[in-house]
A and B are shown apart, each in its own frame.
Chain A
């Protein structure tokens, strides 16, 4: 008789998730499912609201990356107003975005994933958290906290608030940057850089401990998607949405007009999850499986476009190849991107026009449809709105970064479970690896279903007749 394991709460991720693992009579994994268990209904309840309220409403989808939602949303609103926003406003939005990428990447690496990496996948789960890191590696914990603070403080200095600021508005931003804020942020740039340098050095030094994980952490060929500039540089705020398939020799599609996304991205539905499963339309479902996020962005881009990040990228590619396949390296890519974020902030803050006071364009409804695409820390984020002549929302579609990775995460969970989970009794360390692979993607499940959640994930073990045999819920069942 076979079995089913359920991990009811995945811990150290954002939102709620659950994994089911089905075993056969011999105790071997036959299939797995990654479930996301909430629905929030943003796309429906915004109907009838004025389009210019969308940034503040959709920012509430997430408390970690509200800036990404704000930016995708204001870009969709810019498209509805059919305006080209002032150059300085564009730079300020990008600056804000980079600060958010840095703080979110710091949270993912230091607070959520470093316990697995430094304390070990099989270490005592009661200590395997940021507090355990504080005990064993206090300098690293302090670095993590300092880097996140750098990003959050920069956001506060620009936008007035760290979470859900109202600074970015349709048409630009609502106030110019002050020279005091610029100088304050600039004064902390070097500290942020040195923290990231240390983290990269540390990560590189522990890679060899994780051979088995590297081999099985979502290590399957997929396509990749991310924003790039016309010359192929990494872009986070705005750019061309590029799809790359290493198996097909490189770029397979470039989406220049955000509204064209629907010709390339279809949205599949998985019966066991509220999280939709976007796929690359020309390849069909589920063959059109692609990944987004730091790993995908570095695969899609030719280069970062800032000196130190490019040096790190060169070393990354020397170690791992031009296209990096194992999702374990999301962590590595995330750190290189954090470096890019800090360097890009420095470039923007030193731009002669950054303090310009013309930062907002005003207009009424000039187009009945608009889409905005930005790179959230977790990957491509798409907001697509339709309005009537008066500007009332009639329809909305939001495709969230974590959603793009849904198919890949399902496959990765399957791969890890088949490699590490065996037998009737579940060892905690086995299941922690299943959770760790989910963590590598840094998913935001509350965003992706636009669902509210506290944390964790559940794993359940089921027999072939559907009988639940074991259940592990790490700490808040």
Chain B
């Protein structure tokens, strides 16, 4: 069987590897689909709902990171409808927890913030929930601030799939979902954490950060983790 397939993205015919997701197919052809949870080298989970695309013949939107590209498929990745949905998804993320950019270590280097800017989110149309969430400062080098977590699970996956420590998981359901360390231990009490810091580097926001960094100082080294996963063959 031919290892390449042909699909149509926004009307343009492009070739891509058989087995690639729509997200990967678009990327390989220089077309950008926004996303916050997907990351090269980690298994896709479709958590953030920002990479939704329209597929001809399917009457609902599909997450491009978890949908394999198929021969003859016609995909729309930019449309007014998609823009509206993506904006809405982002506003819901922003209203869910306490994202205060002005005092955040990641201000200016935050994927959530950049995407909000790119999508033109100038205000949030939903009431903020202002949940009272804690900050876990128990680890000697790193800090977890639940207020800034968007539950993308990059940290969960990089720790389990690349580092092999599986410190992180998601506890609870729906709006009560929370990142949890080893069955609800504090991070400092973790028995598996190797303090490698990969979870910190892949975190798209300031939820996971190095301690002692002042506002705007935390610049994540996502690319080096991506290179590492390529070398180790993690994910796909």
Contact = CB atoms under 8 A, between A and B. Distances in A.
Interface of A: 48-50, 52-53, 55-57, 60, 164, 166, 169-170, 174, 362, 364, 388, 390-392
B212 A166 contact: no
A392 B102 contact: no
Interface string B14-43: 000000000000000000000000000000
Contact of B217 (A48, A174, A392): A174
B215 A391 contact: no
Interface stretch (B74-82, B130-138, B159-167): B130-138
Nearest to B217: A174
Contact of B135 (A48, A55, A364): A48
B216 interface: yes
Interface string B64-85: 0000000000000000000000
B118 interface: no
B97 to A, nearest CB: 15
Contacts of A52: 211-214
Interface string B195-212: 000000000000000011
A56 B213 CA distance: 12
A391 B137 contact: yes
Nearest to B209: A50
Contact of A391 (B103, B105, B134, B211): B211
Given A50-B143, A60-B103, A390-B138, 16 more contacts: A50-B137, A50-B211, A52-B212, A52-B213, A53-B103, A55-B214, A55-B215, A56-B102, A56-B214, A60-B102, A166-B107, A170-B214, A174-B214, A390-B137, A391-B211, A392-B135
Contact of A169 (B107, B140, B211, B214): B214
Contact of B214 (A48, A166, A388, A391): A166
A106 to B, nearest CB: 26
B102 A164 contact: yes
A52 B209 CA distance: 13
B188 interface: yes
18 contacts: A48-B134, A48-B135, A49-B135, A50-B135, A50-B137, A52-B211, A52-B212, A52-B213, A53-B105, A53-B215, A55-B214, A56-B102, A60-B102, A164-B102, A166-B107, A166-B214, A174-B217, A390-B137
B218 to A, nearest CB: 11
Nearest to A48: B135
Contacts of B138: 390
Given A49-B135, A50-B137, A391-B211, A56 B217 contact: no
Contacts of B102: 56, 60, 164
A184 to B, nearest CB: 23
Contacts, number: 48
A46 to B, nearest CB: 10
Contacts of B134: 48
Among A50, A60, A164, A169, find the residue whose CB has the most chain B CB atoms closer than 10 A.
A50
B194 to A, nearest CB: 20
Interface residues of B, number: 18
B214 A57 contact: no
Nearest to A171: B212
A166 B217 contact: yes
Nearest to A51: B137
A362 B188 CA distance: 21
Contacts of B188: 390
A437 to B, nearest CB: 35
Among B105, B134, B213, B214, find the residue whose CB has the most chain A CB atoms closer than 10 A.
B214
Nearest to B133: A48
A104 B80 CA distance: 48
Nearest to A392: B137
Contacts of A57: 103
A215 B188 CA distance: 64
A70 B7 CA distance: 55
Q: Name the 6 nearest CB pairs between A and B, nearest first.
A: A56-B215, A390-B137, A169-B214, A56-B103, A166-B216, A166-B215
A448 B69 CA distance: 60
A82 B153 CA distance: 37
B59 to A, nearest CB: 46
B222 to A, nearest CB: 22
Contacts of A392: 135, 137
Interface in B146-199: 188
A170 B137 CA distance: 17
A55 B212 CA distance: 12
Nearest to B216: A166
Contacts of A362: 212
A392 B186 CA distance: 14
A79 B143 CA distance: 21
